[in-house]
């Protein structure tokens, strides 16, 4: 969550369920409320952290975002924060608007 705050986001909730979907965080970045999925991987032989967001996970994140809209959120977006850990250190990548309704079908 510290990374998200450093990136200028205000963490509203973390480790919650929306429409039965486990969500790592909901943040406000000033222009939208954002459903954030955080993936951390220490091995890249399966494609790294971002590869862990498969079709089923994307569909669940879209369902969570819809639930957030039903709770009254204005503009909603889905971001993925991918952390890949190697012996040399960690790489953090923030993919804004990483999952869309069209990409989840």
| Average pLDDT value over all residues in the chain | 90
Q: What confidence score (pLDDT) does residue 44 get?
A: 67
Per-residue pLDDT tens over the stretch 48-74: 787 778 899 999 999 999 999 999 998
Dihedral class, residue 97 (left if φ above 0, else alpha if ψ from -120 to 50, else beta): left
Q: Residue 104 pLDDT more than 60?
A: no
User: Which residues lie closer than 8 Å to 21 by C-beta, 6 or more apart?
Assistant: 60, 61, 63, 64, 67
**Tell me, which fold does domain 2-104 have in CATH?**
Trna Endonuclease; Chain: A, domain 1 (3.40.1350)
Per-domain residue ranges for the chain?
A: 2-104
Per-residue pLDDT tens over the stretch 7-43: 999 999 999 999 999 999 999 999 999 999 999 988 7
Do 50 and 80 form a contact (C-beta atoms < 8 A)?
A: yes
Q: For the chain, what percent of residues have pLDDT higher than 90?
A: 74
First-last CA distance in the chain: 29
pTM, two decimals, is 0.89
Q: Residue 77 pLDDT more than 90?
A: yes
């Amino acid at each position: 969550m510290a990374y998200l705050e450093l990136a200028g986001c205000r963490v509203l909730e973390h480790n919650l369920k929306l429409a039965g979907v486990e969500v790592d965080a909901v943040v406000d970045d000033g222009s939208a409320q954002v459903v954030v999925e955080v993936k951390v991987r220490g091995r890249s032989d399966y494609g790294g952290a971002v590869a862990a967001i498969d079709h089923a996970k994307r569909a669940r994140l879209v369902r969570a975002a819809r639930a957030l809209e039903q709770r009254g959120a204005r503009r909603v977006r889905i971001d993925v924060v991918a952390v890949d850990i190697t012996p040399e250190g960690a790489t953090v990548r923030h993919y804004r608007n990483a999952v869309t309704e069209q990409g989840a079908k």
